[in-house]
């Protein structure tokens, strides 16, 4: 009978410095693990198990939601749903890529860097998906046809390239300049997030100011922003493991909490975006930008004229 032995775990002083995490004392996998060992390690409790499964399981939920939307919406011909299509594809790619990165990051020092390069790139693409959905569904009407509206998505694409490049570069500084590396990586993800959510924050402020009636989407997006700020705080502060090194090696670290918060925010945001588009109205219950109305009206009238002339 075939028997599989779970890989051995190590303490912090038994692994090279490049594999060490701040205030994590035990639960490290072998720094030269095989691909099979990496897969088997996901079924034993170590300091990456929660990170792996909190990304892998949401992937299947998002795929299921995507399949449901595909059976409900006409993505091929309805241009109104195309931003949602891009967003749903990217939120399926991000958690799966991150799960693979956490799974196979201990095959070697080089593979660790490569895995996290893909992880940073996938997170940047998720941020781009947010920008695309916000740019088409959330842009305030007073900003329509402004320079920000016209260049919102191109700037977001530039932010994606900037975010990925800077976060990948920060890994080369991690051993010699850990604080500088963490600062660059934080900036790399905070700057695109702030830019992407400017339309959403503006419209939330409009609703809070009484310019629109609160909806269920409004509260969920407020929760999403709250979790995003909490994620950023946990990532930079390394709490709670910094308060009690060794007590949160397997569960409760800032990385685990960060993954849970990010995927909770993605889940809420993806669900509310899908619900809003299904009901044919944009986020927060406000009207579509006038430019989109104009495009839809123009395309409808032109198609009607063609049918009439024929």
- Residues belonging to the binding site for Zn(2+) are 102
Residue 19: predicted pLDDT: 94
Please write the tens of the pLDDT for every residue from 45-93.
999 998 899 889 889 988 988 888 888 888 888 888 888 889 889 988 9
Phi, psi of 17 (to 5 degrees): -60, -30
Q: Say which residue, 204 or 53, is predicted with more confidence.
A: 53
Q: Tokens 């219950």 label which residue? A: 285
Distance CA(266)–CA(257), nearest Å, equals 14
Q: Is the pLDDT of residue 306 over 50?
A: no
- Residues belonging to the binding site are 102
Distance CA(127)–CA(129), nearest Å, equals 5
- Residue 215's pLDDT band, with cuts at 50, 70 and 90, is low
Domain boundaries, the chain: 37-276
Residue 208: predicted pLDDT: 72
Distance CA(67)–CA(97), nearest Å, equals 19
Distance CA(104)–CA(11), nearest Å, equals 19
Residue 286: predicted pLDDT: 47
Average pLDDT over residues 192-216: 77
Domain range 37-276, CATH class: mainly alpha
Please write the tens of the pLDDT for every residue from 85-134.
898 899 889 989 999 999 999 999 999 999 999 999 998 998 898 888 88
Residue 262: predicted pLDDT: 52
DSSP H helices, the chain, are 35-41, 49-72, 82-103, 109-137, 147-171, 178-196, 198-208, 216-237, 254-278, 290-309
Please write the tens of the pLDDT for every residue from 125-159.
988 988 888 888 878 878 888 899 899 999 999 99
Residues 6+ apart with CB under 8 A from 303: none
The pTM (predicted TM-score) of the whole model is 0.82
Contacts 24+ apart (CB under 8 A), 85-89: 86/129, 86/132, 86/133, 87/129, 87/130, 87/132, 87/133, 87/270, 87/273, 88/62, 88/270, 88/274, 89/129
Residue 181: predicted pLDDT: 93
Please write the tens of the pLDDT for every residue from 235-287.
777 777 787 888 878 876 655 545 544 555 555 555 555 445 545 444 444 44
């Amino acid at each position: 009978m075939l028997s599989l032995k779970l890989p051995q775990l190590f303490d912090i002083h038994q692994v090279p410095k490049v594999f060490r995490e701040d205030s994590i004392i035990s639960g490290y996998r072998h720094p030269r693990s095989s691909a099979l060992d990496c897969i088997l390690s996901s079924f034993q409790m170590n300091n990456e198990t929660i990170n792996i499964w909190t990304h892998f399981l949401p992937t299947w939920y998002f795929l299921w939601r995507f399949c449901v939307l595909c059976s409900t919406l006409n993505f091929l011909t309805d241009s109104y749903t195309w931003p949602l299509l891009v967003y749903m594809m990217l939120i399926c790619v991000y958690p799966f890529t991150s799960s693979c990165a956490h799974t196979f990051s201990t095959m070697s020092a080089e593979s660790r860097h490569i895995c996290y390069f893909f992880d940073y790139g996938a997170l940047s693409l998720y941020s781009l998906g947010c920008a695309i959905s916000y740019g088409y569904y959330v842009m305030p009407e007073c900003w329509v046809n402004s320079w920000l509206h016209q260049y919102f998505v191109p700037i977001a694409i530039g932010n994606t390239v900037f975010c990925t490049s800077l976060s990948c570069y920060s890994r080369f500084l991690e051993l010699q300049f850990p604080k500088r590396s963490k600062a660059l990586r934080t900036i790399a993800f905070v700057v695109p997030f702030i830019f992407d959510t400017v339309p959403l924050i503006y419209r939330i402020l409009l609703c809070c100011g009484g310019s629109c009636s609160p909806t269920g989407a409004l509260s969920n997006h407020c929760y999403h922003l709250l979790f995003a700020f909490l994620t950023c705080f946990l990532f930079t502060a390394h709490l709670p493991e910094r308060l009690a090194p060794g007590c949160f090696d397997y569960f409760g670290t800032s990385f685990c909490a960060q993954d849970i918060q990010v995927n909770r925010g993605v889940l809420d945001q993806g669900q509310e975006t899908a619900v809003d588009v299904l009901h044919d109205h944009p986020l927060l219950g406000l009207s579509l930008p006038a430019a989109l109305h104009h495009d839809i009206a123009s395309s409808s009238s032109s198609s009607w004229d063609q049918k009439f002339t024929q």
